[in-house]
Amino acid sequence: MTDLQTRGVVRHLGGEAGHRSFFGGQHSKGRVAALAIAFTAGLVLTPLIGWPGLLVGGGTAGVTLLVTARTHRGSVLERRRRRRRWNARVQAGTDAFVPYDPHVWEEAHAVLAEVRGRKAKWSARRDIATIRSMPDGADGMGWLQMGVGRPGIAWHSPLGEDSYLSVVFSVSGQLHGIESTSTMRQAAEGWGMFLAQRAVPSDLVGGVQTMTRVLPSDTALQEFWVLNSLDPDAPADAITSYDEVLHLTGADAMVQRHYVVVRWPITTAFTDQARKYAEGRDGWRELMAREIDATVRGLQDARMGDVEVLTARQVAAVIHHQQDPARPVDFVADLDPARLGVMSHDEFSAHVTETRTQAGDLLEWWHRTARISAENLATAPREQLWVLDLLVGRDLPFIRSIAFHLHLIPAAEAKAAAKRDLVRDAAEVISKRQGGDIDIDETTLALTAARRRSRDLIAGSHHHGANWVGYITITARSRDELAQASRQLEDTCSSGLGIERLDWLDSYQAAAAGTTWPIARGITPNSSALSARLYRRLAGRTDKDAI
């Protein structure tokens, strides 16, 4: 949890991953539910059967605490859940992906009809399950607008989640080279203002994703310029020398491409607002055209440099490049935005994509995704460049994508949640002191964070709330290189960034890769408190009579 401030360049991040639970502190919903069941069981059984009932309740609570205890490898329950998920994927055939093709689909069904035997039938069904229209990372994704030269508006209806629209904006970044402290502060204020303006209840934006792709340097543009500008009478030695300069400067060099993805939930307010422009999907497109223009102006005001709205084919090109880094990120000539995936298969800790070179040789890329959560981030003051080592670190020579997702929360809801946490933390501190306990870590740290949020969200501050989560996907050419890259990333995160633990999303790496694609996936909107839901009901879903 954090807040959108605009007073300076230093922020306090880390430590808090959610609001306080009924039992005090921050616990997962599963742990709270199991402890509640154990408490209820003991309360009911003890009067009925005596001390065995108390033993049942206490034993259940003890087992719950053990299997949900956090370790540097996750809890026992998490490891068990991952293993079961992986086994289920292997049995169902969803651990592999083959892009949908009518001929391949018909052949697979023909094989299923002909084979005999239980094992052969199972293998044939697995082959059918691998043939899907979209990869796991972009499940349920389509397009509201995908015309040539027009902004690409993606339409998402992922299983079990609310539908939303997303648009990708390519930006050149706020800072270029060496900048002064005042310039950095103005850049931080501009970005904070951009987010705060979209966190108000009347705005239709529900979340923002920032994504940076770190890839090897491409000298194609320089070579193209030379071909068009070269003097026919230039000496051969000069041409050779310039070619050597290009290759020397490009060797082992990594460049960054920055993107901002904005997410619009398809709510009643959105559809009612769109109906004022036109009926049906035409109204949606008209409304989105105005939202896109407003976002471009907002990003320009936030000093994001050159801002460009990507078309559907350009978005598809970025996603294809992330799966196959050998493909240029800007190459769109042969792409169909409705076909985003390449052939792939999963291992427990890796997502392996398979492509062919122009010569027909098989080319494999190994990917692995980790989550950066607030609970695994050491609480400390951080400047806006605190992730710079991930972007330009010399100790990270591999290709990677870094994405941060922000779910925007209106000030009233964020302020109410901060007050509840402050009251519970203060009560817990008083309780421990009265009981003779000395707490110098978790409770005091949580109380300090709650006080900071309450102070930042004071009336008239124009600050709003936000939940955040980060993801990073690393790419290598082989299993051994991927294992080495994973260790290098963990060392860099723990030593230079204060990230105490990376949560590797093993057992579902194919779906996890989508969290770093420019499609605004990877964060679940927080569940509002009862008072916030009541306030929204009183405000009504929308004002249909307004202009």
463 CB neighbour count, 10 Å cutoff:
23
Q: Which residues on adjacent β-strands are paired with residue 503?
A: 371
Write the pLDDT tens digit of every residue in 347-397: 999 999 999 887 778 899 999 999 998 878 876 677 777 888 888 866 788
Nearest residue to 351 (alpha-carbon basis) of 506, 470, 141: 506
pLDDT band at residue 174, thresholds of 50, 70 and 90?
confident
Contact 420, 529 (CB under 8 A): yes
User: Percentage of the chain surpassing pLDDT 70?
Assistant: 76
Nearest residue to 151 (alpha-carbon basis) of 293, 331, 306, 338: 293
Structure tokens of 234?
A: 């230039």
Mean pLDDT of the region 483-492: 92
HEC string of 171-236 equals ECCCCCCCCCHHHHHHHHHHHHHHHHHCCCCCCCCCEEEEEEEEEECCCHHHHHHHHHHCCCCCCH
pLDDT at 4: 42
Q: Which position has the token pair 């509640």?
A: 36
Q: How far lies 284's CA from each of 138, 164, 270, 311, 312, in Å? A: 22, 12, 8, 17, 17
Name the range with the highest mean pLDDT among 19-23, 48-52, 343-347: 343-347
Q: Check whether 69 has a pLDDT greater than 50.
A: yes
Q: Check whether 2 has a pLDDT greater than 50.
A: no
Q: Check whether 528 has a pLDDT greater than 60.
A: no
pLDDT at 466: 77
Nearest residue to 225 (alpha-carbon basis) of 237, 243, 199: 243
Q: Check whether 151 has a pLDDT greater than 90.
A: yes
HEC string of 19-52 equals CCCCCCCCCCHHHHHHHHHHHHHHHHHHHHHCHH
pLDDT band at residue 191, thresholds of 50, 70 and 90?
confident
Q: Check whether 144 has a pLDDT greater than 90.
A: yes
Separation CA 450–CA 415 (nearest Å): 10
Who has greater pLDDT, 418 or 523? 523
> Would you list the domain boundaries of the chain?
2-13+140-217+253-338+369-539
pLDDT at 322: 95
Nearest residue to 22 (alpha-carbon basis) of 8, 33, 10, 6: 33
Separation CA 205–CA 466 (nearest Å): 13
Separation CA 246–CA 439 (nearest Å): 59
What letter would DSSP give residue 424?
A: H
Contact 348, 507 (CB under 8 A): yes
Task: Provide CB contacts within 8 A for 545, sequence distance 6+.
Answer: none
Structure tokens of 506?
A: 């093993």
pLDDT at 510: 95
Nearest residue to 3 (alpha-carbon basis) of 387, 414, 384: 414
Phi (first) and psi of residue 19, to 5 degrees: -85, 170
Structure tokens of 302?
A: 């936030």
pLDDT at 454: 66
Who has greater pLDDT, 278 or 66? 278
pLDDT at 7: 41
Separation CA 288–CA 265 (nearest Å): 12
Contact 67, 76 (CB under 8 A): yes
HEC string of 221-285 equals HHHHHHHHHCCCCCCHHHHHHHHHHHHHHHCCCEEEEEEEEEEEECCHHHHHHHHCCCCHHHHHH
Contact 472, 370 (CB under 8 A): yes
pLDDT at 236: 77
Average pLDDT, whole number, for the chain?
81
Separation CA 122–CA 109 (nearest Å): 12
Q: Which position has the token pair 């543009």?
A: 221
What letter would DSSP give residue 317?
A: H
Structure tokens of 358?
A: 């122009």
Q: Check whether 268 has a pLDDT greater than 60.
A: yes
Write the pLDDT tens digit of every residue in 304-361: 989 999 999 999 999 999 999 988 888 888 889 999 999 999 999 999 999 988 777 8
68 CB neighbour count, 10 Å cutoff:
18
Contact 453, 182 (CB under 8 A): no
Nearest residue to 295 (alpha-carbon basis) of 200, 175, 168: 168
Separation CA 352–CA 97 (nearest Å): 10
pLDDT band at residue 14, thresholds of 50, 70 and 90?
low
229 CB neighbour count, 10 Å cutoff:
7
Write the pLDDT tens digit of every residue in 206-255: 899 999 999 887 666 666 677 677 777 778 777 777 767 766 665 566 78
Name the range with the highest mean pLDDT among 42-51, 88-97, 232-241, 406-415: 88-97
Write the pLDDT tens digit of every residue in 70-79: 766 667 778 8
What letter would DSSP give residue 522?
A: S
Q: Which residues on adjacent β-strands are paired with residue 213?
A: 257, 401
pTM: 0.82
pLDDT at 342: 93
Who has greater pLDDT, 226 or 529? 226
Separation CA 259–CA 210 (nearest Å): 6
Structure tokens of 245?
A: 């300069």
